Structure 1
Amino acid sequence: MPINNPKLTVVGAGPGDVELFTLKGIRALESADVVLYDALVNPELLEYATNAELIFVGKRKGCYAYQQEQINDLIIARAKSHGHVVRLKGGDPFIFGRGAEEMQVAAAAGLEVAVVPGISSSLAVPAYQNIPLTKRGSSESFWVITGTTKAHKISNDIKLAAQSSATVVILMGMSKLAEITALFRESGKKDTPVAIIQDGTTSKERIGVGTVDTIETVVQELKLTNPSIIVIGEVVKHREQLLNLQLEIAQNA
C-alpha cells in the first residue's frame, strides 16, 4: 500500500555523549518508521526508536555496510514503503556528514525532507577537554577542516589555515598527520600546541598533547587512533593552565 507522505529527517546524533543529543532529535526517533544509522552513533540513542526498523549503514575501519548510492536508494525505498525515515548521523549532519547530499536526492525523489542539527564533534570534543576554540588574546577565529578530501588527499585549506593565527580543528586527519605537521612547520609553527582527542565525549575518551614538532611521537607512544580530532593552536594551553590553577587552589585549601 503506497505511503501518502514519505519523509526523510536527517538527524545529528552529536559527538558521542548521549546527553548531548537534542530533544528534537528524540522526537524524530520516536516518530520514525525506519532508522538508518552510522558507526559513530551512540547505540543508546536507538532506544528512542521504539517503533522503527533499525538498519546499520555505517562503516568501520574502511569497511562499508552500504555504499552511498545504496544508502540513497534505501532512503527512498523505505520512505515510500514505510513512511518516515530517520537518517541518524554522528555529530552535525551538515558538517562533513553528507546530510545535504542525502536530502537533495530524497527531495528529487519526491520525499518531504527535514533536518535536525546536532552538536558537532569539532566544537564539543575540544570543549570536553577544556580547550576553547576562541579565547581573547589567543585566537580570534577557528577553522574546521576535513583532513582527507574526496580524492583521499590532504585538504589544500590546511596549508592556508597554517598561515593564519586561527585555531585549526581537523577531522578525519590522523592518516595525514605527518603531512599536516609538515605544513605547519613550513609556516614557522613548530612550537604551536597540538591536542589529539580520541573517542571524544565518550567513556573511551583519550587525549595526547604536544606541539607540532612532538605530536607524532606522542601519538605513537599513546597509540592514538581514529576516531580522533586534531586541535592546533595556542588555545590548547588553556587546558593545562586550568588544570594548574585547580591544582594550586587544591594545594592551598
Structure 2
Amino acid sequence: MGRVALVGAGPGDPELLTLRGLRLVRAADVVVTDALVDRRVLAEVRPAVAVHDVGKRAGAPFSQAAINELLIDLARGHELVVRLKGGDPFLFGRGGEELEALLAAGVAVEVVPGVPSATAAADLVGVPLTHRGVADGFCVITGHRHGDASLDYDWRALVASGLTLVVLMGAASRATIAKELMGAGAPGETPVAVVTRASWIDEEVRWTSLAALGSVPVASPSTIIIGGVVDPRRRWRPSLPLGGLRIVVTRPRAVADALAVRLRDLGAVVVASPAIEIGPPSDGGAALAAALSHIEDYDWLVLTSQNAVDRVVGGIGDLRRLGGVRIAAIGPATARALERVHLTADLIPGTWVGEGLVEVFGPGPGSVLIARARQARDVVPRGLEAKGWRVDVVEAYETRTAAASVPPELVESADLVVFTAPSTVEGFATQYPGLVPRAAAAIGPVTEEALVRRGWPVALTATHYDADGLVEVIREAREAGRLVPRSEAP
C-alpha cells in the first residue's frame, strides 16, 4: 500500500506552490487533480506519469464518493499518489472528506497546506483583508452550499461584525448575497472587488459596489471581497516595470525558464507554451557520431545553439581531443553553454546570426564541422564554402512541433507572444491554426522575417539576440507606452 499526499496547489501560479508541494508533484507516481489546478502546475508532473482529472464541472460531475474510491485504489498500486486541490485542501476543497476516507481504508496520508485562494486573490489585487482602523478580521463563506441548500447565514451578525467578507463559489449567487447583506444593514456603496481566476494568465478584477454586484458580469471561479478594505488605489502590480502584462513564451520547456523568470520578476504574468520540443537526430545520431570520431581532423567546430553544445560535448568524450580545434559559437548563450563544460569559444560574432558569423570568419582553406538542428538555414555552410572552407554539416538534434499544452483561449488573452526562433513560429501556427497573436516579439531579424511571412503583427524585435535582449526591448516598450496590457487598453 502506498501513500496519498493531499497537496494544496495554491491559486494557480506554480511559483505560489509550497516547496514541499512542488517536490511531491515532481516525485508523484500518479496524480489526481481538480479542475481549478492551473496547467502550469500540472506541467511539473513527470511526462510518463498519469494525471486523472476529477474536476467537478457543470453537467459532468465527478462524485466525491468516486474520487475517494479512486484515491484508495491508486494507493494500492502506486507508492506516491498526489491529490492536487486548488487553493488549500481544507478550505472548501472537501479535503477533510478525502482524508477521512483514506484513513478509514488504512491508507497513509500526508496533508500539504496550500496558499488559500481567498487570501491569494486579495493579496494579488492589493486588498488587505485586515487593515488597522478598517477591519480587525475577515470571514470566508461559500456562495454554493452542498445540495444547493439555501444561504441561510446570520446576515445581520455578519454585517454587525465589521469583518471583511470573502465569498468563494459565489458567482451565481452574488445578487442574492448582495440583497441579503443590504437587507441586514450593509450600505449599498460598500466597496466590492471581484477577482476571477486569480494568478492565472486570464485573471480579471472588477471594482464595484454592493448595490451593483448583482449586475456586474462575473465568471467562475471568482473570489468576491466585500468591505471597506477594498480600494483600487492599493493595486501594486502597476508599480512593477511589466506589471499587468500577460506574456506567452514559446521556447522549449527545457530552456524557457531563465526568460520566464526574468519576465515574472519584472511583474509580468507568464505562461510557458512550448511550440517546439528538442529530440534526438532523425538518424539516431549516426552522422554526428561519425564526424566526432575524427574531430581532431577539423580546423573549426561551429556550434549554433545550446542544444548543439550538449549533443556534441556528450559525443566527444575526452574534451582534450579538441585541443587543436577552434570553436565558433553563434551568440553568447551558446558561448555560456560551452563555458559550463570548461570550453571557451574562439570566435563569437558581434551580430548573433549566421550572416554575422560568415562575415567575421577568416578565409580558408581548411575544414569546418557544423553541428546544428536538422532544419536550419544554409547561410553559414554556403558562406564558409564561398570563403574557401570545406564544410561538413551534421544533424545534432531535431526540433519538432510540441503538443499544445495551453488552451487557445488563454493564448488569445495574452498581450504578447514571444518567439525565439523561426521554428517556434511554425510550431505555434501548427498548434493553433488560425490564431493570430495580439502582438508578437521576435528574438532577432530571422525570427521577425518568419512572423512577417505569416502576416502576424510584430510589436518588438530584440536588438541583442538573446533572452536578455528580449527582456530589455519588452521593458522599453512598456515604459514608452508602446506595449499596453489589454486590461488598460481604452
TM-score > 0.5, shorter chain as reference: yes
Letter in structure 2 aligned against 1:113 = V
Distance, in Å, in 2 between the alignment partners of 1:147 and 1:164 is 19
Change (3 A) 1:236 1:62: farther
Letter in structure 1 aligned against 2:219 = T
Change (3 A) 1:170 1:209: same
Distance, in Å, in 1 between the alignment partners of 2:154 and 2:195 is 18
Match of 2:226 among 228, 232, 243: 232
Letter in structure 1 aligned against 2:18 = T
Match of 2:21 among 17, 21, 25: 25
Corresponding residue of 1:52: 49
Structure 2 residue matching 1:234: 3-state secondary structure: coil
**Gap runs ≥5 in structure 1:** 247-253
Corresponding residue of 1:84: 80
Match of 2:206 among 191, 203, 208: 208
Corresponding residue of 2:133: 137
Distance, in Å, in 2 between the alignment partners of 1:207 and 1:158 is 28
**In the alignment, structure 1 residue 6 sits paired with structure 2 residue 15:** no
Distance, in Å, in 2 between the alignment partners of 1:158 and 1:43 is 38
Q: How does 1:149-160 map to 2 (within 5 A)?
A: 149-157=145-153, 159=155, 160=157
Asked whether the 8 Å contact 1:158–1:180 carries over to 2, the reply is no
Corresponding residue of 1:176: 173
* Post-superposition offset of 1:205: 1.0
Cα shift readout 1:75-111 (whole Å, capped 9, x = no counterpart): 1111102222111010000100011110110111111
Structure 1 residue matching 2:146: 3-state secondary structure: coil
Distance, in Å, in 1 between the alignment partners of 2:74 and 2:219 is 35
Change (3 A) 1:154 1:234: farther
Letter in structure 2 aligned against 1:78 = L
Corresponding residue of 1:70: 66
Corresponding residue of 1:162: 159
Distance, in Å, in 2 between the alignment partners of 1:154 and 1:18 is 35
RMSD: 1.7
Letter in structure 1 aligned against 2:55 = G
Identity %: 39
Corresponding residue of 2:183: 186
Corresponding residue of 1:38: 34
Letter in structure 2 aligned against 1:53 = A
Cα shift readout 1:60-80 (whole Å, capped 9, x = no counterpart): 33422x311111111111110
Change (3 A) 1:138 1:62: farther
Corresponding residue of 1:251: none
**TM-score scaled by length of structure 1:** 0.87
Asked whether the 8 Å contact 1:167–1:233 carries over to 2, the reply is yes
Change (3 A) 1:83 1:13: same
Higher relative contact order (CA 8 A, sep 6+): 1
Letter in structure 2 aligned against 1:235 = V
Cα shift readout 1:155-206 (whole Å, capped 9, x = no counterpart): 3336132332110000011111111011111122122111111111111111
Cα shift readout 1:107-133 (whole Å, capped 9, x = no counterpart): 111110111100001001011110110
* Post-superposition offset of 1:241: 5.4
Change (3 A) 1:140 1:62: farther
Structure 2 residue matching 1:157: 3-state secondary structure: coil
Asked whether the 8 Å contact 1:145–1:155 carries over to 2, the reply is no
* Post-superposition offset of 1:22: 1.2
Distance, in Å, in 1 between the alignment partners of 2:114 and 2:37 is 11
Distance, in Å, in 2 between the alignment partners of 1:86 and 1:201 is 22
Asked whether the 8 Å contact 2:12–2:41 carries over to 1, the reply is no
Change (3 A) 1:43 1:209: same
Please say which structure displays the higher CA radius of gyration: 2
Distance, in Å, in 2 between the alignment partners of 1:154 and 1:143 is 18
Cα shift readout 1:128-156 (whole Å, capped 9, x = no counterpart): 11011000111001001111111313433
**TM-score scaled by length of structure 2:** 0.46
Bigger mean CA deviation after superposition, 181-190 or 132-141: 181-190
Change (3 A) 1:201 1:241: closer
Structure 1 residue matching 2:145: 3-state secondary structure: coil
Distance, in Å, in 1 between the alignment partners of 2:69 and 2:5 is 15
**In the alignment, structure 1 residue 104 sits paired with structure 2 residue 100:** yes
Change (3 A) 1:173 1:132: same
Cα shift readout 1:1-59 (whole Å, capped 9, x = no counterpart): xxxx4211100000011210111011111221110001110112223221532111112
Corresponding residue of 2:58: 61
Q: How does 1:108-127 map to 2 (within 5 A)?
A: 108-127=104-123
**In the alignment, structure 1 residue 128 sits paired with structure 2 residue 124:** yes
Q: How many residues align?
A: 234
